[in-house]
Amino acid sequence: MIDILKEMFLTSEYTFIRRAVVVGLLVSLCAALLGVSLVLKRYSMIGDGLSHVGFGTLAVATALHAAPLTVSIPVVVLAAFLLLRISESSKIKGDAAIALISTSSLAIGVMVITFSTGMNRDVCNYMFGSILAMNKNDVTLSIVNAVIVLVLFVFFYSKIFAVTFDESFAKATGVKTGLYNMIIAFLTAITIVLGMRMMGALLISSLIIFPALTSMRVCKKWHSVTLCSAAVSVVCFFAGVVISYAKELPTGASVVIVNIAAFLIFWLVQLITKTTGFPKIKKSATEIKE
């Protein structure tokens, strides 16, 4: 185990692995923080929809020989605002709108690829992720993004709680809910674009959904759910990358599998505490002591 870690982080030729780990850890941290709010607002599928839009824009960018991120980020941010708007108005139901946009951009992406480079290994990497995809710019960008997400998240922590828990109350008492929803959508879009090429367009939304759901099995406060999902996400990503390196498995899928395992463990813990009433026993024991 330690040998593998040494090999991964100390071999001088393996800068790509260190890059991938840095970007991945930051992306999973941001995704987990945003995910708590998105999952509770019933917006889980927005992440999935946005990653498909990202796939489409990546294909277009490659065909135009443009830098992928400069095309992807603005388009995906735009799509995020659009999806949010549609979810708020009741005319088209949110889930249908997301499905509409995500399949459309997937289809456009596939068409563009067919006409330009043709289906090749790159396309497969877009879909399922590749650890080799990170370059120096990505590292800089993800550090900047992570700092922005963390600062905004800490700064607006209580407001994000209020907007997630009860939007109409927040709005009625003068909190600018529209602004905070936009901030969440904006940060989600950037996080997805950054993580997409490593995790894959089809798998990136797992980083948003799994940690939040996992920590909600056990934690009962907003504060603890937030901290726990950040920790779960970072640990799962790291374990996933190490496993994928050691066993030569695809990175994105390995991370998701570790997340599934974590979810099952937390779920089991929840089941056990529920059926045995473990906290209650502990409580009465302390009461007896007093």
Partner 1 sequence: MSLITCKDAAFGYDGETAISGLNFAVNGGDYLCVVGENGSGKSTLIKGLLRLKSPQQGSVLMGDGLKANEIGYLPQQTAAQKDFPASVYEVILSGRLGARGILPFYSRRDKAVAEENIRRLDIGKLRHKCYRELSGGQQRRALLARALCATKKLLLLDEPVSGLDPVVTQELYRLISTINRETGLTVIMVSHDIQSAVRYASHILHLKNKQVFFGITRDYLQSDVSKSFLGDERHD
Evaluated on CA atoms 22, 28, 29, 31, the torsion sign reads: positive
| Contacting range for partner 1; rule: CB under 8 A; set: 36-44, 46-54, 130-138, 265-273 | 36-44
Q: Which of 234, 189, 191, 187 has its CA nearest to residue 210? A: 234
- Residue 229 · residue 35 · CB < 8 Å: yes
Please tell me whether residue 239 binds partner 1 under the rule CB under 8 A. Answer: no
Q: How many residues bind partner 1 (CB under 8 A)?
A: 30
Residue 65 or residue 221: which is nearer to partner 1 going by CB?
221
Residue 38 or residue 189: which is nearer to partner 1 going by CB?
38
Q: How far is the CB of 73 from partner 1 (least distance, A)?
A: 26
Q: How far is the CB of 266 from partner 1 (least distance, A)?
A: 13
Positions in 247-276 near partner 1 (CB under 8 A) = none
User: Which member of 121, 221, 247, 289 binds partner 1 (CB under 8 A)?
Assistant: 221
| Contacting range for partner 1; rule: CB under 8 A; set: 39-47, 58-66, 78-86, 107-115 | 39-47
Q: How far is the CB of 275 from partner 1 (least distance, A)?
A: 16
Q: Is residue 29 classed as helix, strand or coil in its secondary structure?
A: helix
Q: How far is the CB of 90 from partner 1 (least distance, A)?
A: 10
Other residues' Cβ atoms within 10 Å of the Cβ of residue 136? 9
Positions in 133-192 near partner 1 (CB under 8 A) = 154-159, 161-162, 164-166, 168-175
Q: How far is the CB of 222 from partner 1 (least distance, A)?
A: 5
Token digits of residue 70: 């400069």
> If you ran DSSP here, which 8-state letter would residue 174 be given?
T
User: Which member of 16, 81, 222, 238 binds partner 1 (CB under 8 A)?
Assistant: 222
**Helix residue spans in 89-221 (DSSP H):** 94-115, 121-128, 136-155, 157-165, 167-172, 177-199, 205-218
Distance of CA 174 to the CA centre of its chain: 30
The terminus-to-terminus CA distance of the chain in angstroms comes to 46
Q: How far is the CB of 228 from partner 1 (least distance, A)?
A: 10
Q: How far is the CB of 216 from partner 1 (least distance, A)?
A: 5
- Residue 62 · residue 171 · CB < 8 Å: no
User: Which member of 23, 32, 225, 236 binds partner 1 (CB under 8 A)?
Assistant: 225
Can you tell me the distance from the alpha carbon of 124 to that of 138, in angstroms, rounded to the nearest whole number?
A: 20
**Locate tokens 């889930």: which residue?**
95
Q: How far is the CB of 155 from partner 1 (least distance, A)?
A: 5
Residue 9 or residue 165: which is nearer to partner 1 going by CB?
165
Can you tell me the distance from the alpha carbon of 246 to that of 279, in angstroms, rounded to the nearest whole number?
A: 39
Per-residue burial over 101-129, b = 16 or more CB atoms within 10 Å of its CB, e = otherwise: bbeebbebbeebbeeeeeeeebbebbbbb
Residue 36 or residue 79: which is nearer to partner 1 going by CB?
36
- Which stretches of the chain bind partner 1, using CB under 8 A? 40-42, 154-159, 161-162, 164-166, 168-175, 216, 219-225
